[in-house]
């Protein structure tokens, strides 16, 4: 289906981006004719909203701080056939948008990830530690799901309507990128990646990322991801360690008992049995949570299947076209 027949919406989360947001809006409008650009001002204290509005964007406000809160609000409010998400800091090449949209439609895919490619003739646009954190997170997610993940923390993506409307969006801050990727992986939706240019922020624009603070958040994400998506393995590790420690503690006591008929270290024996019980409880918890995980994934899949693929007969664009044709036919009969 031709992208000109579809309603394409761009979601641009912004917090104090007056130095760059107007260029992002203009670049999107030039790259994708007819695109509707929604700039979500997230508690900015500068002229972000005014600059975005002057550039031709629809400006909305999200008063709860955090990129995740912005995305959750935008995905709930906006009705479109294709959704594009891009940061308002002008670090991504908006000129890649047509290729990403074309790729989504030709698949058809539900999630197209913009994989950042550093410009060869300049200093690194990555802040210290963030590139390493991104690689570690990519590797962990790849191991958990058994699929290659190229750029978990990319903020440039294109989605189908059925992806957006089935996405729970529970993250509050920058973890939203990880949640988007995990959603596509556990539902096993059609997805692909497209290389996009990545550059440093323009002069006068300041990064909102904090290396150590965000590093700990990435670590917490990794632990939470393993706990939620692989509960048997996660709790099984603790259960097995508890059993091994219990066995190590118990063997000397059993040997001593057979030699003397006495239990010389009763507190140690009590600790060993406690660890044995805790290990069994950990394995039980993992098995129960794995069943819950499967039910959660099945429910998410059913919600996803309620919506049609991009360009299907009952998509919003087709429905609008049919309504228009019916109205024209009614007018002609009159």
Asked whether the beta carbons of 40 and 73 are under 8 A apart, the reply is yes
The answer to whether residues 213 and 250 belong to one domain is no
**Higher-pLDDT residue of 180, 123:** 180
Give the tens place of pLDDT for each residue, 38-70: 999 999 999 999 999 999 999 999 999 999 999
Is the pLDDT confidence value at 3 over 60? yes
Percent of the chain with pLDDT strictly greater than 90: 55
Cα angle at 175 between 173 and 179, to 5 degrees?
A: 125
| Residues 294 and 216 placed together within one structural domain of the fold | no
- CATH number of 121's domain: 3.90.550.10
Q: Are residues 35 and 108 in the same domain?
A: yes
For residues 95 and 200, membership in a common domain is answered with yes
Domain boundary among 199, 221, 243: 221
92 and 49 in one domain?
yes
Do 264 and 203 lie in a common domain? no
Kindly state whether residue 326 falls inside one of the protein's structural domains: no
Residue at 331 is within a domain: no
- Per-residue pLDDT at 138: 83
Give yes or no: residues 180 and 200 share one domain.
Answer: yes
pLDDT in tens, 295-314: 988 998 999 999 988 877 55
- Last-in-domain residue among 221, 249, 265: 221
Q: Are residues 50 and 142 in the same domain?
A: yes
Is 145 among the domain residues?
A: yes
Domain that holds residue 152: 3-221
Do 19 and 118 fall within a single domain? yes
Strand runs labelled E in the chain: 8-14, 36-41, 58-61, 82-85, 111-118, 157-160, 191-198
- Does 147 map to a domain? yes
- Within this chain, do residues 216 and 240 fall inside the same structural domain, yes or no? no
pTM: 0.81
Looking at the structure, do residues 196 and 67 belong to the same domain, yes or no? yes
Please give the pLDDT value at position 208.
62
Nearest to 37 by CA among 97, 112, 103: 97
Q: Strands across the sheet with 111-118, in order?
A: 58-61, 36-41, 8-14, 82-85, 157-160, 111-118, 191-198
Number of domains in the chain: 2
- What is the band of 145 on the pLDDT scale with cuts at 50, 70, 90? confident
Residue 188 shares a structural domain with residue 239:
no
Do the domain assignments include residue 45? yes
pLDDT in tens, 89-132: 999 999 999 999 999 999 999 999 999 987 655 555 555 556 77
* 136 part of a folded domain: yes
Q: Which long-range contacts (CB under 8 A, 24 or more apart) does 183-187 make?
A: 183/300, 184/110, 184/111, 185/141, 185/145, 185/147, 185/149, 186/145, 186/229, 186/297, 186/300, 187/297, 187/300, 187/301, 187/304
Distance, first Cα to last Cα, the chain: 32
pLDDT at residue 222 greater than cutoff 60: yes
- Last residue in a domain, options 221, 253, 271: 221
Q: What is the DSSP secondary structure assignment for residue 80, as one 8-state letter?
A: -
173 within some domain? yes
């Amino acid at each position: 289906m031709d992208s000109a027949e579809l309603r394409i919406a761009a979601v641009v989360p912004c917090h104090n981006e007056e130095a760059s947001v107007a260029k992002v809006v203009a670049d999107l409008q030039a790259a994708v004719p007819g695109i509707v650009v929604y700039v979500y001002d997230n508690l900015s204290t500068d002229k972000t909203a005014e600059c975005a509005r002057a550039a031709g964007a629809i400006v909305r406000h999200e008063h709860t701080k955090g990129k995740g809160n912005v995305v959750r609000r935008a995905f709930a409010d906006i009705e479109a056939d294709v959704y594009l998400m891009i940061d308002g800091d002008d670090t991504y090449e908006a000129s890649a948008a047509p290729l990403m949209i074309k790729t989504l439609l030709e698949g058809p895919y539900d999630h197209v990830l913009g994989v950042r490619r550093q410009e060869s003739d300049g200093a690194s646009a990555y802040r210290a530690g963030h590139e390493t954190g991104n690689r570690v997170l990519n590797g962990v997610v790849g191991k958990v799901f058994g699929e290659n993940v190229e750029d978990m923390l990319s903020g440039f993506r294109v989605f189908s309507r059925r992806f957006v409307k089935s996405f729970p969006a529970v993250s509050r801050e920058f973890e939203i990128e990880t949640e988007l990727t995990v959603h596509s992986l556990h539902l096993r939706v059609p997805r692909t990646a497209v290389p996009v240019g990545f550059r440093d922020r323009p002069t006068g624009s300041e990064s909102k990322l904090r290396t150590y603070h965000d590093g700990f958040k990435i670590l917490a994400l990794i632990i939470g991801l393993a706990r939620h998506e692989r509960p048997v393995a996660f709790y099984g590790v603790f259960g097995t360690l508890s059993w091994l420690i219990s066995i190590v503690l118990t063997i000397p006591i059993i040997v001593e008992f057979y030699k003397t008929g006495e239990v010389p270290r009763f507190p140690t024996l009590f600790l060993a049995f406690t660890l044995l019980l805790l290990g069994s409880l950990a394995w039980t918890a993992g098995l129960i949570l794995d069943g819950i995980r499967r039910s959660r994934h099945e429910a998410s899949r059913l919600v996803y299947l309620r919506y049609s693929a991009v360009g299907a007969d009952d998509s919003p664009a087709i429905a609008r076209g049919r309504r228009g044709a019916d109205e024209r036919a009614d007018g002609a009969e009159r």
